Structure 1
Amino acid sequence: MGKNMINQHYSFIILTHDEEIHLPRLLNSICNLNAAVYILDSGSTDQTIPIAQQFGAQIRQFPFSNHPQQWHHALEHFDIRTPWVIGLDADQILSTELNQLLLDFKDKNYSNIDGIYFNRKNYFKGKWIRHGGYFPFYQLKMFRADKAISDLNEGMDHRFIVNGKTLIWEKGCLIEENLKENNISFWINKHNTYSNLLAKEEIERKLFLRKQILKPLFWGNPDQKRAWLKKLWWQMPLFVRPALYFSWRYIFRLGILDGYQGFLFHFLQGFWFRLIVDVKIREMTKNHEQN
């Protein structure tokens, strides 16, 4: 693709909030693709907006409530002119292999496809979390602009849904590393907020105020399989399930091989965070019964 040619196949949408540490890294990893970049910001007070402007991105601002709502707003309000959209988080970059796949991408070669799953490599405190079920990890990140929705029945985790045929790119990956999480206080504060959202979501599901849009299928696509596992999770007893989940990740899925950083990640994300959610579910339920 020539330097002066504007990419006619896909555009990027990126969510930001105080991402001056991450945004240059991401935008530099996609700038050779010559694609339009749309950024939905939720009130950054650092240099995020000036950095986005320097790279020629189109910017909108919208107050943050949760990630699914942010993505819904982005898909509804940006004037996308390409048939495909790639939705990225600010702390992600493209691997060299994934960049090449996108350089070679032509819409006509995917006429019967509506969505493409990218693999993801997750880093924590500078360490690739390779085990514990974290790699390979496929996310629907590229989809036809007129065929995708953000799943608003999710309270914290976000996912895109397309009704048509999807495929998985086995080669290449998104590299995800939130450098702000090198400060453990940031990680704890962030996940304390997330635990509120997740506890509230699970209570609402028990009250039938939320329902799964995506059909849970263990042998389905990656999102359908995760939906099946979530359904199983909701049926498990509180306080027992965090211990089972951590054991599954750390022992049976070999998270123990991820070293010191891996222990911290699997324990904090797989046990501590899930335990806090269960405690808050119990507290919220009691408050609701008393009122």
Structure 2
Amino acid sequence: MVSIVILTKNEEKDLPAALTAIAWCNDVHVLDSGSTDATLDIARENNAKISSNAFESFGQQRNYALDHLDIENDWILFLDADEVVTKEFKTAIFEAMETAREEIAGFYCCWKMMLDGKWLKRCDNFPKWQFRLLRKGRARFTDFGHGQKEDKVDGEIEYIREPYLHFGFSKGWTYWIERHNRYSSQEAIARTIAIPPFKNVLSRNTSIRNPALKSWLSKLPGWPFLRFFQAYIVNMGFMEGIPGFIYCANMSYYEFLIQIKIREQKRIPN
């Protein structure tokens, strides 16, 4: 009923858990972008179908999968290697697919951000939504910042409220900081060049509202501190202990990097 596509590059640490959790799926694809570790061996051991494509962006890579992979089923679920499908999430997506009206093109999904075995529900402003489950041929992806969002949707998008697990810190803080330094450059460009109209901040559609919020909040003096204050104090992230503090502090730092890179972008001559 559903095919699953996992994007990989050097994911030997996270991929085993991701694949074990979806052993029930009859059509699992690993789309790799140049792994030099044991990622592909792990994929073969778990009977995943392996393809390769040079990575340009998340949106481009997901569209490559839609265009070039031999996907067997009518529904496609996109996962990252550090994401794990729970039994409850599996049940929820099957119920959603089985009852979906013909006009439904896909579903937004959400995650539980996990750090040191704790769900950072308050610190991570749960739920956050991404377009991950789609009916074949009914939608594509486009880049926004370091990530992607839905594009060219033929129909409506609904929500699956049961989350999957996201282990975004599994490779350690050095890796996370290096990666988010790169991401902050991409976010700075997106928030400088493609600023959505302010009215989008009031949209009910999170895919429209969130990019607008990011762009406009980045203009506020002291926004990195406000980001920390909102998540740690207002949302009571302090109740999530040391992992909550570490997460909020690093997300504040990430927003600081974006702000100073936005300033840098504005100084670059056209």
User: In structure 2, how many angstroms separate the alpha carbons of the residues matched to 1:104 and 1:201?
Assistant: 36
Deviation at residue 159 of structure 1 after TM alignment: 2.2
Taking structure 2 as the reference length, the TM-score comes to 0.88
Deviation at residue 202 of structure 1 after TM alignment: 2.6
Kindly tell me: are residues 106 and 198 of structure 1, through their superposed partners in 2, closer, same or farther at Cα, counting changes over 3 Å?
Answer: closer
Kindly tell me: are residues 49 and 256 of structure 1, through their superposed partners in 2, closer, same or farther at Cα, counting changes over 3 Å?
Answer: same
- What is aligned with 2:68? 77
* In the alignment, structure 1 residue 258 sits paired with structure 2 residue 240: yes
User: In structure 1, how many angstroms separate the alpha carbons of the residues matched to 2:228 and 2:169?
Assistant: 24
Kindly tell me: are residues 180 and 169 of structure 1, through their superposed partners in 2, closer, same or farther at Cα, counting changes over 3 Å?
Answer: closer
User: In structure 1, how many angstroms separate the alpha carbons of the residues matched to 2:258 and 2:203?
Assistant: 28
Q: Does the Cα contact within 8 Å between 1:121 and 1:137 map onto a contact in 2?
A: no
SS class of match (1:167):
strand
1:125 to 89, 92, 116: 116
Kindly tell me: are residues 197 and 218 of structure 1, through their superposed partners in 2, closer, same or farther at Cα, counting changes over 3 Å?
Answer: same
- What is aligned with 2:81? 90
Q: Which amino acid aligns with 1:229?
A: L
User: In structure 1, how many angstroms separate the alpha carbons of the residues matched to 2:208 and 2:51?
Assistant: 31
1:1-291 alignment to 2 at 5 Å?
A: 9-32=1-24, 34-102=25-93, 107=98, 109-152=100-143, 154-161=144-151, 162-170=153-161, 172-181=162-171, 183-205=172-194, 216=200, 218-234=202-218, 236-237=219-220, 239-269=221-251, 271-286=252-267, 288-289=268-269
Deviation at residue 263 of structure 1 after TM alignment: 0.7
User: In structure 1, how many angstroms separate the alpha carbons of the residues matched to 2:80 and 2:257?
Assistant: 25
Identity, % of aligned positions: 29
User: In structure 1, how many angstroms separate the alpha carbons of the residues matched to 2:108 and 2:189?
Assistant: 29
The number of aligned residues is 268
User: In structure 2, how many angstroms separate the alpha carbons of the residues matched to 1:187 and 1:10?
Assistant: 31
User: In structure 2, how many angstroms separate the alpha carbons of the residues matched to 1:128 and 1:71?
Assistant: 27
Q: Is there any run of 5+ residues in structure 1 with no aligned partner, and where?
A: 1-8
Deviation at residue 117 of structure 1 after TM alignment: 2.3
Q: Which amino acid aligns with 1:221?
A: N
SS class of match (1:123):
strand
Q: Does the Cα contact within 8 Å between 2:113 and 2:168 map onto a contact in 1?
A: no
Deviation at residue 150 of structure 1 after TM alignment: 0.8
User: In structure 2, how many angstroms separate the alpha carbons of the residues matched to 1:120 and 1:113?
Assistant: 21
Deviation at residue 230 of structure 1 after TM alignment: 2.9
Taking structure 1 as the reference length, the TM-score comes to 0.83
Runs of 4+ in 1 over 6 A off after TM superposition: none
Q: Is there any run of 5+ residues in structure 2 with no aligned partner, and where?
A: none
Structural RMSD (CA):
2.4
User: In structure 1, how many angstroms separate the alpha carbons of the residues matched to 2:119 and 2:98?
Assistant: 33
Q: Which amino acid aligns with 2:10?
A: D
Q: Does the Cα contact within 8 Å between 2:62 and 2:141 map onto a contact in 1?
A: yes
Q: Does the Cα contact within 8 Å between 2:180 and 2:254 map onto a contact in 1?
A: yes
Deviation at residue 103 of structure 1 after TM alignment: 5.1
Deviation at residue 265 of structure 1 after TM alignment: 0.5
Kindly tell me: are residues 249 and 178 of structure 1, through their superposed partners in 2, closer, same or farther at Cα, counting changes over 3 Å?
Answer: closer
User: In structure 1, how many angstroms separate the alpha carbons of the residues matched to 2:229 and 2:216?
Assistant: 16
